Amino acid sequence: MRSLLAALLFTLSLAAPAMAGESVEIKTLEEGASSPPASVDELAWLVGHWKGSGLGGQSEEFIAPPLDGQMIGAFRQTKADGSLWFYEFYQIVEDQGSLVMRIKHFNPDLTGWEEKDDYVAFRLVETSENAVYFDGLTFKMTGPDEMRAAVVLEGDKTASFIYNRVSP
């Protein structure tokens, strides 16, 4: 399923390549390696409403505070012409003493990309004071109200995002 998502995003992003020089490091979890211990409380810095650019259009994230071992979020992506492209709904959840980010993707009419009970999962690789590295997906604070994100699309292709906090 992850390769299907990567192929879809790669195809969609051909007209909007990642911004050169604007990406953050993306880390991967070695095959067979375990994710390190972590809690969603360590990611409270992600909370807020974020707007920015990525994939050649406008990107927007809404991330709720930790509650009962989970954080939830929503992502909205527009095309360069301002029309809605797709949505993501996700959770960052404590799982076996570590963290997993689970994402479901939707078209503007809310038809899903993944099957009904499926989602794309990104296992935790590492956390730091201002960054979280999931396997193929990174969020990193680069200023008091600036965040950058990057995700692996296919092979060595990546998409980069630059966000500014609209509200906490």
Could you give the dihedral angle defined by the CA atoms of residues 126, 95, 5 and 128, in that order, rounded to the nearest 10 degrees? -20
CATH number at 42 reads 2.40.128
Q: How far is CA 87 from CA 1, 16, 99, in A?
A: 17, 17, 22
Q: Is 21 helix (H, G, I), strand (E, B) or coil?
A: coil
Question: What pTM, to 2 d.p., does this model score?
Answer: 0.85
Q: Looking at this protein, which amino acid is placed at residue 72?
A: I
Whole-number pLDDT of residue 23: 58
Number of domains, the chain: 1
Per-residue pLDDT of the chain (168 residues; tens, 9 = 90+): 444 444 344 334 433 333 334 458 999 999 999 999 999 999 999 999 999 999 999 999 999 999 999 999 999 999 999 999 999 999 999 999 999 999 999 999 999 999 999 999 999 999 999 999 999 999 999 999 999 999 998 777 899 999 999 987
Residue 117 lies in domain: 2-167
